[in-house]
Amino acid sequence: MQALRVERLTADLSGVTLADIPVPTRAAGEVLVRVLAASLNFPDLLMTRGDYQFKPEPPFTSGLEFAGEVIEADAGSGFAAGDRVMGGNKTGAFAEIVAVPANKLSTMPRGMDFAAAAAMGAAYSTAFTGLVELGGLQEGQWVLVHGASGGVGLAACDLARALGARVIASTGSPAKAGRIATLARADAVIAATGRFREAVADRTGGALADIVFDPVGGDVFDESTRCVAFDGKLVVVGFTSGRIADVSTNIPLIKGFSIVGLRAGEYARRFPERGAAIQRAITHLAETRAITPAIDRSLPLSRWREGFDAMARRELVGKVVFVPGS
């Protein structure tokens, strides 16, 4: 079968290649799945460089998440041949067939296609964990979402709106503002450059943001400490800017807000009952059409470089979905 392999860790994707490898052998407790769509995430790009916190040794098959049809599963696993499933693992999704533990899979929401299901999992579980589980999101609150052109940022906007919040989406690219406004269903779109506190204050009538969802870090995080309302939450999601920010502890003390670190996958592993409840909540929202994953482009796996390059150049508004075998 074809699979996208990281043979060497390099800064320019020169160590990545589409290769023919043996079909994986399913171990006890695993499910064999034919991958019909797989979505690209920022950690996939980082892992080709060795820059992500999880550092698999090359060679390995790239890809965190996918959707497809079950080929084979253990009796009693909850899955059977032909089931439409979505799921993920730390690697392996960018291939025609994948073998994953049964507990890494869930049934696709009714009425959802494979591309949307592949694009939903990691982004929406990250958004739900950050906004609801850690942020305590309530209807009517103001949520400031940075990196709103990315898959996680758009998911956070979409989810917050579905749960009754008011959303300010931010972007470092003015050229993306129009597309973000449509896809994010935001109440406002602002530029996350320089001093943007006044823009947040203006949109909220001076109230500032009850929750700041920040996958960007760096200068955006620094200014965000000025944008959080008293008793608010600043949720640290990542550092796509490339700089890990520092904060003086007197700032959250005086302003009365909390800084919360988000690792959605680890949260679900440590609290499996909560992880399962998050998945049920997201599935319900998807089945009732309250949320819809945003897809920038769908590509055959043979055009993987186009998707990775677009992500590296920060051109995307939404997710890239690869279709193996095409």
pLDDT in tens, 42-53: 999 999 999 988
**Cα separation values, 180 from 97, 150, 189, 213, 316, Å:** 34, 9, 8, 16, 10
Q: Is the pLDDT of residue 240 over 90?
A: no
Could you give the percent of the chain with pLDDT greater than 70? Answer: 100
pLDDT of the residue at 175: 84
**Token output for 21:** 């490898």
pLDDT of residue 271: 96
What is the mean predicted confidence (pLDDT) over 264-292?
Answer: 94
pLDDT > 90? residue 102 = yes
Q: Tell me the pLDDT band of 184, cut-offs 50, 70 and 90.
A: confident
| pLDDT (0 to 100) of residue 173 | 85
65 forms beta bridges with 39, 88
Contact 115, 87 (CB under 8 A): no
Give the full edge-to-edge strand order of the sheet including 142-145: 188-191, 166-171, 142-145, 209-214, 228-236, 258-261
Q: Can you tell me the distance from the alpha carbon of 143 to that of 4, in angstroms, rounded to the nearest whole number?
A: 37
Q: Is the pLDDT of residue 326 over 90?
A: no
Whole-model pTM? 0.91
| Averaged pLDDT for residues 240-248 | 91
For residues 93 and 64, what is the distance between their CA atoms, to the nearest angstrom?
Answer: 6
Looking at residue 111, what is its pLDDT? 93
Neighbouring residues of 108: CB distance < 8 A, sequence distance ≥ 6 = 67, 84, 85, 86, 114, 117
- Domains, the chain, ranges and CATH? 2-108+294-323 (3.90.180.10), 123-265 (3.40.50.720)
- Tokens standing for 304? 């993987």
pLDDT at residue 325 in the model: 83
